[in-house]
């Protein structure tokens, strides 16, 4: 701390003996030692208090960081980030559900004397008269409703040939 060598200490000791005297010198050195120890203890207390204050400040910072880490919930952040995708998925799901649901059956009020409408005929079936098709038990419209496409085409050709012969 102080750069004092043996030569300087001898000079200080001689000056103290001359100024204070050999009789009071031990009492003065004891007092000097007590004051020095009290100053060291006060410095030590100050250092301890200062270190505790730093630890408390650091500890508070660590506690704050720990509480921030507890509040950090990656699952909630992922939910918040994926919320627009969830809404899109819900929209798609509801659209698919509405598209796959069977439509409710139609209930049309029919009067007792009402005759069901005849389907509109186009092409070769329009040329066939109702009398010509009355003789056949399997009409073209009935086969078409069953899905017999090949039979329907051949039946239509035969009927159109019969109409040409009649004319």
Render 68-88 in DSSP notation, one character per residue. Answer: HHHH--HHHHHHHHHHHHHHH
pTM of the shown model: 0.32
Contact 159, 140 (CB under 8 A): yes
List Cα–Cα distances, 76 to 69, 85, 133, in angstroms.
Answer: 13, 15, 72
Tokens of residue 108, six digits: 């049309």
Q: Is the model's pLDDT at 6 over the cut of 70? A: yes
Looking at residue 68, what is its pLDDT? 82
User: What distance in Å separates the CA atoms of residue 100 and residue 119, rounded to the nearest whole number?
Assistant: 28
pLDDT band at 136 (very low <50, low <70, confident <90, very high): very low
Percent of the chain's residues with pLDDT above 90: 12
Distances (CA, A) of 90 to 93, 97, 98, 101: 5, 10, 12, 16
Look at residue 39 in the predicted model and tell me its pLDDT. Answer: 95
Question: Average pLDDT in the 96-111 region?
Answer: 70
Highest mean pLDDT range out of 45-54, 55-64, 127-136?
A: 45-54
Query: Are 134 and 159 in contact, with CB atoms under 8 Å apart?
Result: no
Give the Cα separation of 10 and 17 in Å (integer). 11
128, 159 contact by CB (below 8 A): yes
């Amino acid at each position: 701390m102080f750069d004092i060598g043996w030569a300087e200490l001898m000079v200080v000791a001689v000056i103290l003996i001359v100024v204070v005297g050999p009789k009071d010198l031990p009492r003065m050195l004891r007092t000097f030692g007590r004051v020095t120890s009290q100053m060291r203890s006060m410095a030590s207390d100050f250092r301890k208090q200062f270190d505790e204050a730093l630890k408390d400040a650091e500890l508070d910072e660590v506690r704050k960081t720990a509480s921030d880490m507890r509040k950090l919930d990656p699952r909630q952040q992922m939910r918040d980030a994926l919320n627009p995708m969830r809404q899109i998925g819900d929209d798609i799901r509801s659209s698919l559900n509405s598209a796959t649901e069977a439509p409710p059956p139609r209930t049309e009020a029919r009067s007792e004397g009402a005759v069901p409408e005849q389907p509109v005929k186009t092409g070769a079936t329009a040329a066939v008269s109702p009398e010509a098709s009355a003789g056949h038990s399997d009409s073209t419209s009935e086969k078409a409703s069953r899905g017999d496409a090949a039979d329907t085409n051949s039946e239509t050709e035969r009927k159109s040939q019969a109409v040409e012969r009649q004319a």
